[in-house]
Amino acid sequence: MRLAILLALVLDTSGRRSHPVLATETLGAAFTSLGAGNDAGLAISTWRNNTLERDERWHLTADNEWFVQARDGIYVLGVQDPEGWRTDPSVRIVRRAGAWTRVNLTR
């Protein structure tokens, strides 16, 4: 029985397991540009988040939307509020089978 459940999880191709739950994060409003780069074909900019004291990778889309890297292969939408930036993990750019794809998750 356990083997059957394990096989079902491993062979699951529905995509449900590929979207980890990510919390909304407040990022602040103080950033310093560190330069441009590339993440597996995705053009990115690296920024120093002076509020959280960490380096972050961001991608700017053709529609002027900013996405910040949440995990390897996952960028989440950055939303600017009067207090600064926060993430919206329901809108993502994810890397699957070597290609970057936009995903909108329902909450």
In-domain check, residue 48: yes
CA trace torsion 41, 45, 48, 64 (10° rounding): -120
Residue 1 has pLDDT above 50, yes or no: no
In-domain check, residue 7: no
In-domain check, residue 88: yes
Query: Amino acid letter at 3?
Result: L
Residue 5 has pLDDT above 90, yes or no: no
Query: Amino acid letter at 79?
Result: V
Q: What share of the chain is helix, strand, coil (3-state, %, to 5)?
A: 10, 55, 35
Mean pLDDT of 82-91: 96
Whole-model pTM: value is: 0.81
In-domain check, residue 67: yes
pLDDT tens per residue across span 9-63 = 444 344 445 689 999 999 999 999 999 999 999 999 999 999 999 999 999 999 9
